[in-house]
């Protein structure tokens, strides 16, 4: 097997061949049980799957958490088939599945034997004959003579979460992956002795690249678990850290809140988290209160607050853009005219240049000024698959130091302080009241802290026009376990907290049943969909009773 330009896949294959008995991945089940995958087994599964995929161009990867997805992913890489990982489609998400089929134009779908019948039923009849429905294989495969991919070849089409629009397919090259994996290795000090744990969805960038590819890139042990398992019972994550002596793990802000809420103090004090060198926190706004709560709740475990490494990333930049260094102190910032406290997300990874611009004029802003975050560097992808118009929209060319450079417009709002990035909101999720700009995430955070019966990261704030004036509406999910409560008193508490923090009045507050607020597959709130349901008066069945 050869390639004109060597990629990390070359070294990975050599490592697997030379260390056949090495345990590459361990899978933790709901009951803390463990299954293991050796290098020999992985290589056999990958080679066999690559043979199955031979002749295809693009393949949807549809798997539950487990080893079979890795066979499918590396099988695509090995056979130079562009991998397109997506969540398992269900009848209620069939329209999204159709979007992937029409937009990505795959000529193959690869899945597990157990999922194949379900997928077969969901493929529209008018395109059924154009798509091969394949299964991963576990036997020997003939891969001798295959030409391995080059750095410029597309490895993945990574669909965005679609929290503000229809999901877009980001084209990620092997070179993009190589640069980001090396940055992750260098930043976190990963090596062959590291032990990485991921419970994040493998069809999103953080779970796929950091969770599954980092162990291969660093030739170290990887441990994985299902997102459903960890979210339902977060002590599975914490016990795995103890049992496997995990050094590298993390997740979004909400999982830290969930650990505090669901793991009682007595159980927390029995845990040993001293093996951790860090917990990365990313993928959604990082909250100081959350970090403080977790560090205090688990202080007897050997975990310290400086082990948190908050970061910022996005699929359009492959994955990681900035991240706090290990053991460095956490920095916080409260911009003028706001009571919000933002967590510092670290310095840019090597090769990344961050600038802040006025989103309207495109003018470069100085350090400390809030504006749109734009990025330039080797991990920035070439754009969106089959969508030149949207690719053009996010490209921004500017002259810096007498050099013309093209930057990625992220749509995120933030500022730089001492070179460190602070993200304060998102352009499309801003609420304009009387000419002043507020971020929906800040209103949602204050709301979620207003009562213990509220679920964190399960609130939507948006504005509507009422009597020709912009008014604020808030939807907040209530825990299933909550007893009866006074909705009027609780709503007044929310109104008071919002007014105290922002000086704003709230027009309407709706208490929602757990799991009823529309979210993306990565758990981000679909505020636009929430607003549409509210205006269409289609929320009666979702209200908390």
Note the pLDDT tens digit of each residue in 15-59: 999 999 999 999 998 888 899 999 999 999 999 999 999 899 999
Helix, strand, coil shares, percent, the chain, to 5? 35, 30, 35
Distance CA 120, CA 431 (A): 43
Do 511 and 374 share a structural domain?
no
In a domain, 52, yes or no: yes
In a domain, 372, yes or no: yes
Do 459 and 410 share a structural domain?
no
Do 361 and 487 share a structural domain?
no
Do 442 and 402 share a structural domain?
no
Do 201 and 77 share a structural domain?
yes
106: pLDDT strictly greater than 70? yes
- pLDDT digits 0-9 by tens, 356-371: 999 989 999 999 999 9
455: pLDDT strictly greater than 70? yes
- The residues, ordered by sequence, that sit 6+ positions from 77 with a Cβ below 8 Å of its Cβ are 9, 83, 149, 155, 174
Distance CA 36, CA 99 (A): 35
Instruction: Return the CATH number at 85.
Output: 3.40.50.12780
Q: Which two tokens stand for residue 493?
A: 């508490």
Which of 302, 303, 312 is closest to 281 using CA atoms?
312
Residue at a domain's end among 231, 246, 276 = 231
In a domain, 196, yes or no: yes
**315 secondary structure, DSSP code:** G
Question: Could you tell me the CA-to-CA distances from 71 to 67, 110, 292, 429 in Å, in that order?
Answer: 7, 10, 40, 38
Distance CA 384, CA 363 (A): 25
In a domain, 15, yes or no: yes
In this prediction, residues 417-441 reach a mean pLDDT of: 86
Do 419 and 478 share a structural domain?
no
161: pLDDT strictly greater than 80? no
Q: How many domains does the chain have?
A: 3
Domain span holding position 446: 434-542
Distance CA 286, CA 308 (A): 11
Instruction: Return the CATH number at 516.
Output: 3.30.300.30
- The β-bridge partners of 76 are none
- pLDDT digits 0-9 by tens, 118-153: 999 999 998 889 999 999 987 765 556 678 999 999
In a domain, 135, yes or no: yes
In this prediction, residues 293-313 reach a mean pLDDT of: 96
Share of the chain above pLDDT 90, in %: 73
Contact assessment for residue 422 and residue 311, using Cβ atoms and an 8 Å cutoff: no
Please report the pLDDT score of residue 64 as a whole number.
96
In this prediction, residues 78-105 reach a mean pLDDT of: 92
Alpha helices in 110-221 (DSSP H): 116-122, 174-188, 205, 214-218
Do 515 and 445 share a structural domain?
yes
- The β-bridge partners of 347 are 323
Alpha helices in 32-138 (DSSP H): 39-53, 67-78, 94-104, 116-122
Which of 73, 211, 219 is closest to 149 using CA atoms?
73
Do 332 and 371 share a structural domain?
yes
**Structural element, H or E, at residue 269:** helix 265-269
Contact assessment for residue 254 and residue 457, using Cβ atoms and an 8 Å cutoff: yes
Sheet strands (E) in 208-254: 221-225, 248-251
Question: Could you tell me the CA-to-CA distances from 218 to 38, 200, 222 in Å, in that order?
Answer: 16, 19, 10
Share of the chain above pLDDT 70, in %: 96
Give 415-448 as a 3 state SS string. EEECCEEEEEEEHHHEEEECCEEEEHHHHHHHHH
Contact assessment for residue 412 and residue 321, using Cβ atoms and an 8 Å cutoff: no
SS3 245: coil
Helix axes 253-262, 288-297, angle to 10 degrees: 40
State the chain's mean pLDDT as an integer: 91
Do 439 and 414 share a structural domain?
no
Please report the pLDDT score of residue 503 as a whole number.
82
Do 168 and 92 share a structural domain?
yes
Instruction: Return the CATH number at 342.
Output: 2.30.38.10
Residue at a domain's end among 199, 231, 263 = 231
- pLDDT digits 0-9 by tens, 478-497: 998 888 888 889 999 999 98
- The residues, ordered by sequence, that sit 6+ positions from 457 with a Cβ below 8 Å of its Cβ are 252, 253, 254, 257, 284, 448, 523, 525
Residue at a domain's end among 405, 426, 447 = 426
Please report the pLDDT score of residue 338 as a whole number.
58
- pLDDT digits 0-9 by tens, 189-224: 999 999 999 999 999 999 999 999 999 999 999 999
512: pLDDT strictly greater than 60? yes
164: pLDDT strictly greater than 60? no
Please report the pLDDT score of residue 419 as a whole number.
96
Do 498 and 392 share a structural domain?
no
Please report the pLDDT score of residue 1 as a whole number.
54
Q: Which two tokens stand for residue 382?
A: 């070439």
pLDDT band at 329 (very low <50, low <70, confident <90, very high): very high
pLDDT band at 96 (very low <50, low <70, confident <90, very high): confident
Question: Could you tell me the CA-to-CA distances from 70 to 21, 87, 213, 216 in Å, in that order?
Answer: 17, 15, 9, 11
Do 181 and 162 share a structural domain?
yes
Q: Write the burial class of residue 264 (CB in 10 Å: 0-12 exposed, 13-18 middle, 19+ buried).
A: exposed
Please report the pLDDT score of residue 105 as a whole number.
95
The two counts, helices (H) then strands (E), for the chain are 17, 27
In a domain, 306, yes or no: no
- The residues, ordered by sequence, that sit 6+ positions from 260 with a Cβ below 8 Å of its Cβ are 293, 294, 297
- pLDDT digits 0-9 by tens, 249-266: 999 998 999 999 999 999
Please report the pLDDT score of residue 141 as a whole number.
58
In a domain, 260, yes or no: no
What's the N-to-C CA distance of the chain in angstroms?
62
537: pLDDT strictly greater than 60? yes
Question: Could you tell me the CA-to-CA distances from 374 to 147, 309, 323, 356 in Å, in that order?
Answer: 36, 22, 16, 6
2: pLDDT strictly greater than 80? no
In a domain, 250, yes or no: no
């Amino acid at each position: 097997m050869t390639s004109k330009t060597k990629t990390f896949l070359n070294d990975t294959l050599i490592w697997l061949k030379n260390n056949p008995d090495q345990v590459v991945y361990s899978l933790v089940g709901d009951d803390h049980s463990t299954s293991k995958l050796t290098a020999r087994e992985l290589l056999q599964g990958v080679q066999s799957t690559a043979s199955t995929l031979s002749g295809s161009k693009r393949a949807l990867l549809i798997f539950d958490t487990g080893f079979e997805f890795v066979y499918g992913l590396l099988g695509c890489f090995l056979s130079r088939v562009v991998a397109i990982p997506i969540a398992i489609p269900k009848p209620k998400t069939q329209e999204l599945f159709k979007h992937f089929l029409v937009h990505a134009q795959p000529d193959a779908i690869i899945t597990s034997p157990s999922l194949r019948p379900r997928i077969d039923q969901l493929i529209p009849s008018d395109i059924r004959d154009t798509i091969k429905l394949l299964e991963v294989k576990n036997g020997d495969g003939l891969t001798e003579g295959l030409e391995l991919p080059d750095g410029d070849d597309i490895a993945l089409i990574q669909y965005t979460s679609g929290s503000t629009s229809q999901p877009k397919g980001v084209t990620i090259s092997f070179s993009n992956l190589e640069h980001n994996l090396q940055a992750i290795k260098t930043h976190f000090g990963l090596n062959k002795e590291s032990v990485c744990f991921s419970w994040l969805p493998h069809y999103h960038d953080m779970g796929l690249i950091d969770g599954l590819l980092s162990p291969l890139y660093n030739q170290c042990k990887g441990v994985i678990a299902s997102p459903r398992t960890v979210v339902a019972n977060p002590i599975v994550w914490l016990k795995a850290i103890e049992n496997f002596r995990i050094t590298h793990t993390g997740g979004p802000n909400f999982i830290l809140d969930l650990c505090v809420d669901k793991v009682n103090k007595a159980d927390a004090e029995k845990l040993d988290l001293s093996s951790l060198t860090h917990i990365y926190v990313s993928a959604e706004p990082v909250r100081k209160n959350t970090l403080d709560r977790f560090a205090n709740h688990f202080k007897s475990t050997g975990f310290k607050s400086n082990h948190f490494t908050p970061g910022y990333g996005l699929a359009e930049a492959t994955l990681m853009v900035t991240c706090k260094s290990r053991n460095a102190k956490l920095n916080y910032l409260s911009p003028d005219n706001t009571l919000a406290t933002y967590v510092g997300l670290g310095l840019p990874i090597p090769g990344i240049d961050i600038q802040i611009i006025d989103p309207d004029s495109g003018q470069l802003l100085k350090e400390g000024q809030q504006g749109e975050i734009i990025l330039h560097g080797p991990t920035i992808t070439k754009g969106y698959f089959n969508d030149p118009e949207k690719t053009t929209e996010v490209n921004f060319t500017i002259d810096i130091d007498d050099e013309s450079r093209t930057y990625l417009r992220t749509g995120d709002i933030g500022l730089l302080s001492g070179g460190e990035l602070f993200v304060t909101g998102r352009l499309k999720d801003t609420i304009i009241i009387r000419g002043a700009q507020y971020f929906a995430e800040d209103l949602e955070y204050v709301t979620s802290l207003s009562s213990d019966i509220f679920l964190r990261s399960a609130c939507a704030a948006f504005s509507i026009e009422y009597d020709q004036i912009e008014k604020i509406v808030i939807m907040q999910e209530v825990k299933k376990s909550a007893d009866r409560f006074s909705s009027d008193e609780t709503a007044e508490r929310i109104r008071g907290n919002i007014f105290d923090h922002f000086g704003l009045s709230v027009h309407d507050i709706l208490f929602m049943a757990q799991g009823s607020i529309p979210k993306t597959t990565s758990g981000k709130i679909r505020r636009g969909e929430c607003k549409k349901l509210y205006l269409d008066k289609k929320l009666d069945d979702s209200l908390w009773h």
